[in-house]
Structure 1
Amino acid sequence: MPSSVVLVPLRPDSPHVVTVATWQHEAWGHLNPSLGFTGRCDEVRSECGSGGVPRVFVAMSNDRPVGTASLIECDMTSRPHLTPWLASVFVLPEWRGQGIASRLVKRVEEEARSTGLERFYLYTPDQQSLYGRLGWQEREHLTYRGEAVTIMTRTLNDDAPTTQAGV
């Protein structure tokens, strides 16, 4: 992992909101095409809480965002009783394979743990092995919005959280 990469909370007034929204829209916009790019920007901005749920984190290298992950209330409309969720884990292709996604996932876990949460969820079509290595357990396989996905869950332990200033 490059030492120059730091993980920081995203603020709603940050110029990086558009970058994060662009990544999310390009990667997962097909799952909710009615949202549109402007709606995606508004959604990301609304998820930039000051702590707990919701919260967005960004991996930064020399003031440039290279990845992101979020802690949100609900990421799957067909499972509204499951809450909260790890969502929108994304790392730029040229930065993959350096442990950034794992660090982002762990940072979101720290945030969840710091607010007293004991369990949370994610869904993924193809990253089960990554999340499995990080302690996530498969819960359910289903088709969501036309895509085969796995819902996974994570029970949190008592590791101490860390914090950093936002961008």
Structure 2
Amino acid sequence: MQDVEFQSCSPDSQHWMALERLFQTEWSDFRFCDSYKPDANLPPAIIALKDNRVIGGLAYSRFQEPHQSHQVIWFNALYVLPHWRGAGIAGELVNQGVGQVPKSSQSRVYAYTNVACLYQSLGWSVVNIESEPNHHVMFIDL
């Protein structure tokens, strides 16, 4: 992770649109406006920068907590450019992302992912809930 910088990224950041485009390389229908609404009360997205270029990021959304009826904060998108994978960037984004979720509002944070092994290596667990093939709902206690 030589010289990779991690920082918060909000709608007024110069990197906001670059992060959205990065997520769209993996999820073509991703749009920040779908989750980062004025009343959503989400933590800021997190970006990984190398030479002031966005090479990875993490964003949040609100969704129903598994086996509950209320909405909580989830990781909505986690992506690192292929060239930078394996350098610990995704793990650092996840760890920083967990640290931004307020413990006063919920006891766990969730992610829906096809890379469960990454989350498990960081101490996350699988939620016993139906999901698509090769995908899992993961959680970690705050």
Q: State the TM-score, normalized to the length of structure 2.
A: 0.80
Q: What residue is the counterpart of 2:90 in the other structure?
A: 101
Distance change (3 Å), C-alpha of 1:149 and 1:142: farther
Q: What residue is the counterpart of 1:111 in the other structure?
A: 100
Specify which structure has the bigger relative contact order, considering alpha-carbon pairs within 8 angstroms and separated by 6 or more residues: 1
- Map 1:3-152; keep pairs closer than 5 Å: 4-29=3-28, 33=29, 40-43=31-34, 46=36, 53-74=42-63, 81=70, 83-113=72-102, 117-125=106-114, 127-143=115-131, 148-152=134-138
Question: Which stretches of structure 1, 4 residues or longer, exceed 6 Å deviation after superposition?
Answer: none
- SS of residue in 2 equivalent to 1:74: strand
Residues 118-157 of structure 1 deviation map (CA, whole Å, 9 limit, x = unaligned): 21111112x111100101100035345xx6521111112x
Distance change (3 Å), C-alpha of 1:69 and 1:80: farther
Task: Determine which structure has the larger helix proportion and give its number.
Answer: 1
Contact 2:72–2:106 under 8 Å retained in 1: no
Count of residue pairs the alignment pairs up: 139
Contact 2:116–2:135 under 8 Å retained in 1: no
The whole-number CA distance in structure 2 between the counterparts of 1:59 and 1:118 is 26
* Alignment RMSD: 2.9
Q: What residue is the counterpart of 1:164 in the other structure?
A: none
- SS of residue in 1 equivalent to 2:135: strand
Unaligned runs of 5+ in 2: none
Comparing 101-110 and 53-62, the one that deviates more: 53-62
Deviation, 1:14, is 2.3
Residues 82-141 of structure 1 deviation map (CA, whole Å, 9 limit, x = unaligned): 52102211001111110000000000011115666421111112x111100101100035
Partner residue of 2:140 out of 154, 157, 164: 154
Deviation, 1:53, is 2.2
The whole-number CA distance in structure 2 between the counterparts of 1:47 and 1:25 is 18
The whole-number CA distance in structure 2 between the counterparts of 1:48 and 1:109 is 21
Equivalent pairs: percent with the same residue? 26
- SS of residue in 1 equivalent to 2:130: strand
